[in-house]
A and B are shown apart, each in its own frame.
Chain A
Amino acid sequence: MTLTGAGSVSFARETPVPQWGLDAAKTPTPAYAQNAATVVLYDETVETVDADGRSVETEHEAVRVLAPQGRDDAVCAAGYSSDEKIKALRGWTITADSKQFEAKATDVMEVGDTSVPVMLSTYKTRIVRPPAVDVGATVICESEVLLAPYQQEADWDVQRDVPVVFQAMEVDLPAGRAHAVSWHRMEPVKGVEVAPNHWRWEVKDEQRLDLRDVPSRPSWQALAARMNVEWGDAAVDGTDARWKALGKRYTALEAGRPDPTPEITAKTQTLLAGATDFYTKVQRITEYLQENVRYFVVMRGIGGWQAHPAGEIFRNRYGDCKDKTTLLISMLRVAGIESTYVLVDDRRGVVDPQAPSFYGDHMITAIAVPAGVTDAHLQAVVTAKNGKRYLIFDPTNEETPVGNLPAYLQGGYGILAAGDDSQILALPVLSPAANGAERTGTFVLMADGTLTGKVDVTRTGPEGADLRETLKDSDQKERRENLERSLATDLPGVVLKQFDYAQPQALDKPVTLDYSFTADQYAHQAGNLLLVRPRVVGSDALAFDDRVRTVPINLQATGRWRDSFDIALPPGYVVDETPDPVDLDVGFASYHAKTTVKGNVLHYERVLDVRQVQIPATKAADFRKLESTILTDERGTVVLKQP
């Protein structure tokens, strides 16, 4: 029930429930809504576009409360930026026993967008909370918002987290203005021209998308059905043509923003001193930017779309993803390297190559790799349709080195905004070698079950970057507590003796952690047996369950995870039994583990290779097999016996 789009609302005179609301309230609650908190009985959105392309968005919505927890959701709300205006927002309640109430001025509140610590936003939401909202009541909302002049498309969230009985979308265009629609995760619905150049789409009985108890799931937004309608200059025929038009529009919007100032030029030239090859130049600039430009969002009106000028970003040393990309493009330009904007979403699967729109939440950079340049560091390279190679880089991620790519972007799509070369671009999935961790440990087990030892952990690629990010966001006390908590799940009663994180300045070098500990009663006596778990620390298993799987499985990241542990056994004990070795390859991943004995040393090693970031639901059986195999292996026990 949230609209985008600002103004005054008058509650001076009583207005009866509109007829459409009375009609909607008669809709019976469908069986498929049985367990939902609310059900949307009716929702109709109309975009009325004027000759300049500016739209007034009108929404009529009726929502029935089905459960006590649904009462708080049954509100009428409209959000608006400083370039938008709420022309009307009204709300009524029709109770289960058909009494009618209208929201008064005392039922209205506004909230600002001030809760995000790293953001300065002028966005506001007006909320009308109609009275008498009990289970069984229907809330009727009407809103009218004048959208920003640069808003030339609308998203219709067909699927929600509550069921919708009937919903419709309309776009009412001036004569001669074109429109284009796209559909994500649903069959396209044929539009009906209900008046000259006034189009309407209807969907009935849309069930809710509930992923709450689905383990290892993709993002909700990636799976929810939606439609996008465009009435601006990207309202062109053909998917590729529309992506191109969207890219061209964004290119035009940011034109001039990256223009280097003398200060930017001077700084860049200083950074490039002595650099001769492409990678070194790019690396020096990106690392400077990653280290020196703080993430802070300034969102006023069009600031949600358009970056600040590079000179301003450079002086303030802060900015959001668009700003960071803009400053990067500017500095690369000084270096003679071409680069451009790529509009993405950090939730894989949200940007859909078959559904052109600006739907997304993030901006990254595509850096053109000159012909003939090869370098082992340049892993995240894609080739565009025109044959150009681009190095994909996320300047907002302050820890992932240029050449690599954060796992959340791998396997997704983005709009390459490169003027006439604009297009949808598949983002790469890197090989397992580009990411992962290696744990090595040497331990001594005492006859009373006490285990002492030392562990070295090396994390590379995005996993190393994630650790750097975590370390950046924590102080020494929090680091110790986090490590102690993590170890305590494997080693109850552990006493952490020492720990040290090492983060080399160069981002392409791995992050290491070494620590030592003592864990009393790690091994347990059972009669004359002593039971030892050879996998001392660390878990590589993802969450899974036995339920029927209907949605894709998110493996999170490709990578290679290795463990190698040596446990010196106590005198007087011999190994009676070890767990069976494990060798499993399910295509998208493999897992190998074995426990061996050499002299008085128990050796455990395992390696997990993950080759894909996401797999379809049809692979659920293999996924369960993999994860349960890992889990069982992690619980494996070695039996020691006194001869």
Chain B
Amino acid sequence: MNRMVGYVLAAFVFLGPCAALAQFREPKKAELQMTSDPMAPGADAVYLYREEKTDDMLHFHSIYARIKVLTEKGKQLATVRIPYERRSFQVRDIEGRTIHPDGTVIKMTTKPSDLMAFKSGTTQVNTMVFTLPSVEVGSILEYQLDIQYDDNMVSSPTWDVQQPYFVHEAHYLFVPSRTPGTISNSRGQALTRLMYGQRGGNGAKVQEDIRGRYSYDVTNVPALPDDDWMPPLNSLRWKVDFYYTAYTSGQEFWKDEGKYWAKKTEEFANPSKELRKAVSGMVAPGDSEDQKARKIYAAVEALENTDFTRAKSEEELKQAKLKEAKNAEDVWTRKSGTSDQLALLYVALARAAGLTAYPMEVVDRNRALFDASYLSIDQLDDYIAIVVVDGKEVFLDPGQKMCPYGLLHWKHALAGGLRVTAKGTELALSAADTYKQDMLERVANLYRQPNGQLSGIVRYVMSGQEALRWRQALLLNNPDEVKKQFNEWIHGDLPDGVQGDFDHFLATADYDENLVATVKVTGSIGSATGKRVFLPSEFFESRGKLPFVAEAKRTVPVDVHYARMVEDSVTYTLPAGFQEEGALPPVSLSWPDHAVMRVVSKSSGAQVSVTRLLMYNYALLNSQDYGNLHDFYQKVAKADSQQLVLDRSNSAAGN
């Protein structure tokens, strides 16, 4: 019986394939003479043509590409790397040539190099590398190759239609295996059908011909976006995925696979007799649901999380006479587990305490966004827990060490995945954090000397994601390393000429409390004239590093990870004789339903204080919202660039 291993190839082969090698094409005069491309203004190179073919009858993929080099940077495309799994695949019949703008053809004569990239046990990934000769700006690069795989395998393709460079024309072809009844997955299911999922695109559709072959012809494919603050690329890339499957629709896939997933998950999260006994020692009979949920959460958080320490090797387990944990009870017994195991342990313990609790497995939003059209349960990364308290669902992240009750690590918030409900299993989205959960307060008490020297203390008061980040950093690093990381983090906050030196944290162990970091600051600040001294009004934002200020336009969505609130309170204590000249005008900016900024200042004796509040209550925004985002941040940037004017005409000389 054949085994389905298509995803092995999909993971390693980035370029596509051909049932019979394509013939090199004669370049058109216009292609040779082309010096820029109006369809891709400013591009370094464009694909004139791409072709990927997969033949699961003859067991090979083929790739054919024609690339026009438009700039020096575009020459980089002359080097081609084909990663592949070496045990089952072979890359062969590589041919390449370079065509100069005058039509001169230089064939590749150097033998491609088959380089080992990674090897462990029986797994070996190689990269076939070749580079085309005599490349110059204006050249057309042309190559083709075959990737052959074992006769006892099938390899349904994933077509990454969108490339880093504009594609004028592309042709994709898939000849499926004619014996799908003999293909099975790791669960032993007979994969009797073929399905595909298509995401993105400009209207072109996958076509099936009377011979059961699938083709996709597309023109004018824009280059992959590459912007700061972009959601994971998987949510943006145009692609087509083929699946040998036992199902007739995506809905059926998720329903049936969901049941299978839930069965396995529920087996692990079984509230066994031992767990019921354990939980009776954690909660009191009179505890409210909220109290029970919190006490159990604290007990699970207190266990060793091996994702923050280290998983034990086979040999260590053997020496300790332990076996791999098979269920929540095993995890509880050894007081140690992975993040996923601890999340499921929480569900089991909550149920043992009589609470309604459900497991959910989500996609790590730092890596990808959940894609229901991608019919693979392997896209799910991490478990979280849902507990019902007083009729309301509370999303919890017990697998995240030091994560407060009620908060999800941002990578698990607003994340799609599978969850169990009272009615069964369904696709769902996890809860979003609110700005009230993620607060950063920066309090600076600064003393400026007559000579411009500055000293003072800054306190960072953190809740939510920032506190979680630094508490986890303390678990994974020694204090000296965390100190360095903290200094590097705040470096961008402090004005030019001012250094921060982290001193200590408060409340590192209690994740329900605010985490406080104290930083000593020294240096010089501001500028002076004969009569006046000027200080940045926004001590923490004087470097002008805000995002979304410079770029006026954007076509891709924005992902800022989580909503948050930042409150700055800066007090300058001034030398004798200094006084504020003209009060800083208050600022109040609002982007309704999205963001707010307020600045107020006050002067009292030798002290000038400025308070700034910036809140935004979104994590993901559509590109249509970018205009408002840009407009808001431009106003913020301008407000941040104001200066405090101090009259020093009555002071002793200095600068």
A-side interface residues toward B, CB under 8 Å?
35, 37, 66-69, 71, 99, 101, 104-114, 117-118, 120-122, 124, 131-134, 212-213, 292, 294, 296, 300, 315-318, 472-477, 481, 484-485, 487-490, 492-496, 520-521, 524-529, 531, 541, 545-546, 577-580, 628, 631-633, 635-639
Contact = CB atoms under 8 A, between A and B. Distances in A.
25 contacts: A35-B479, A68-B475, A68-B478, A101-B313, A104-B315, A112-B115, A120-B131, A122-B115, A133-B310, A134-B309, A134-B310, A318-B133, A472-B72, A475-B44, A476-B42, A484-B550, A492-B637, A492-B638, A520-B638, A527-B581, A527-B582, A529-B645, A531-B645, A546-B523, A635-B527
Given A524-B641, A632-B497, A637-B527, 7 more contacts: A121-B115, A318-B133, A529-B582, A577-B530, A579-B529, A632-B527, A635-B526
B556 to A, nearest CB: 12
Interface in B312-326: 312-316, 319
B549 A110 contact: no
B477 A101 contact: no
A473 B44 CA distance: 9
Contact of A212 (B73, B475, B484, B532): B484
Interface of B: 41-44, 71-73, 75-76, 78-79, 81, 106, 110, 113, 115-121, 127, 129, 131, 133-136, 309-310, 312-316, 319, 452, 475-481, 484, 487-488, 496-497, 499, 522-524, 526-532, 534, 543-546, 549-552, 581-585, 634-635, 637-638, 640-643, 645, 655
A186 to B, nearest CB: 25
Contacts, number: 211
Contacts of B528: 579
B637 A578 contact: no
Contacts of B478: 35, 37, 66-69
A118 to B, nearest CB: 7
A266 to B, nearest CB: 15
A631 B529 CA distance: 15
A134 B544 CA distance: 43
A526 B115 CA distance: 66
Contact of B129 (A99, A114, A633): A114
**Mostly helix, strand, loop or mixed at chain A's interface?**
mixed
B477 A68 contact: yes
Contacts of B136: 292, 317
A268 B488 CA distance: 52
A117 B642 contact: no
Contacts of A485: 550
A211 B90 CA distance: 46
A577 B113 contact: no
Contacts of B497: 628, 631-632
B134 A131 contact: no
A468 to B, nearest CB: 9
Contacts of A212: 484
A573 to B, nearest CB: 15
Contacts of A122: 113, 115
B78 A316 contact: no
A487 B550 CA distance: 8
Given A476-B42, A495-B552, A531 B480 contact: no
Given A577-B529, A636-B527, A294 B135 contact: yes
B116 A492 contact: no
Given A112-B117, A318-B133, A131 B71 contact: no
B41 to A, nearest CB: 7
B79 A118 contact: yes
B110 A493 contact: no
A112 B131 contact: no
A493 B135 contact: no
A531 B42 contact: no
A501 B649 CA distance: 47
B641 A521 contact: yes
A114 B81 contact: yes
A639 B119 CA distance: 67
B529 A578 contact: yes
B496 A475 contact: no
Contacts of B655: 632
A488 B549 contact: yes
A469 B149 CA distance: 42
A637 B581 contact: no
Given A133-B310, A213-B484, A528-B582, A493 B638 contact: yes
Given A472-B71, A527-B582, A110 B118 contact: yes
A131 B313 contact: yes
B310 A296 contact: no
A122 to B, nearest CB: 7
Nearest to A70: B478
Contacts of A35: 478-480
A101 B527 CA distance: 62
Contact of B134 (A37, A107, A316): A316
B14 to A, nearest CB: 13
A104 B314 CA distance: 10
A489 B544 contact: yes
Contacts of B44: 475
Nearest to B124: A110
A317 B110 CA distance: 12
A524 B314 CA distance: 67
Given A531-B643, A637-B527, A120 B75 contact: no
B536 to A, nearest CB: 9
Give the one of A109, A493, A496 with max B CB within 10 A. A493
Contacts of A106: 121, 314
B44 to A, nearest CB: 5
A628 B524 contact: yes
Nearest to A631: B497
Nearest to A314: B134
Contacts of B549: 488, 492-493
B476 A109 contact: no
A469 B581 CA distance: 48
Contact of A110 (B71, B116, B133, B583): B116
A118 B81 CA distance: 11
B393 to A, nearest CB: 35
A639 B532 contact: yes
A472 B73 contact: yes
B452 A632 contact: yes
B315 A69 contact: no
Contact of A489 (B120, B480, B543, B582): B543
B117 A37 contact: no
Nearest to A578: B529
A527 B583 CA distance: 7
Contacts of B316: 101, 131-132
A513 to B, nearest CB: 16
A636 to B, nearest CB: 5
A639 B642 CA distance: 14
Contacts of A488: 544, 549-550, 637
Contacts of A104: 315
Contacts of A112: 115-118, 127
Which 4 residue pairs spanning A and B have beta carbons closest together? A476-B42, A527-B582, A67-B478, A484-B550
